[in-house]
């Protein structure tokens, strides 16, 4: 019983009833979810317009991230940071090697979390730096 009591103290603190009531109201609100989905769809439409001619580009169906095809994720990440001040993440950092190949190696992950106009400018800058000759 002593061990169970200690485990409960560390992992199972009960929430007070008023906090549970407030949490129920907040979790029941779906308006912000609907608005957020709409905003991301608008951002993905902009990405589709900007990257539609990039070989290997696939429009995301959902989520917070855009995966862009590149020759080398680490090199593209460094180029964007050094030349444009844009931070992205190499895809290889988010996947593991399978059969001596990392499936994320030829991608970068772009977080689509900035405000709309900033996202639009950032995506255009990425295209100009990585895909425009």
pLDDT tens figures, 114-131: 999 999 999 999 999 999
Q: Which of 96, 90, 70 is nearest to 78 (CA)?
A: 90
Q: Is the dihedral of CA 111, 115, 119, 121 positive or negative?
A: negative
Structural domain total, the chain:
1
CATH at residue 22: 3.90.1150.10
Exposed / middle / buried, residue 88 (Cβ in 10 Å: 0-12, 13-18, 19+): buried
pLDDT at residue 1 in the model: 81
C-alpha to C-alpha distance for 125 and 113, rounded to whole angstroms? 16
- Domain extent, residue 38, equals 2-130
Dist CA 123 CA 47 (whole Å): 7
pTM of the model: 0.77
Q: Please give the Cα distance from 36 to 116 (Å, whole number).
A: 12
Render pLDDT for 62-103 as a digit per residue (tens, 0 to 9). 889 999 999 999 999 999 999 999 999 999 999 888 888 999
Q: Is 85 helix (H, G, I), strand (E, B) or coil?
A: coil
């Amino acid at each position: 019983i002593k061990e169970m009591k200690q485990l409960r103290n560390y992992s199972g603190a009960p929430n007070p009833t008023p906090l549970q009531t407030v949490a129920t109201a907040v979790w029941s609100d779906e308006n912000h979810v609907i608005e957020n989905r709409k905003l991301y769809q608008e951002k993905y439409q902009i990405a589709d317009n900007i990257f539609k001619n990039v070989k290997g580009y696939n429009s995301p169906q959902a989520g917070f991230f855009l995966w862009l095809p590149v020759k080398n994720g680490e090199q593209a990440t460094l180029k964007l940071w050094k030349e444009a001040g844009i931070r992205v993440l190499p895809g290889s950092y988010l996947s593991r090697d399978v059969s001596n190949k990392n499936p994320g190696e030829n991608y970068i992950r772009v977080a689509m979390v900035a405000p709309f106009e900033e996202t639009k400018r950032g995506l255009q800058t990425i295209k100009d730096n990585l895909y425009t000759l």
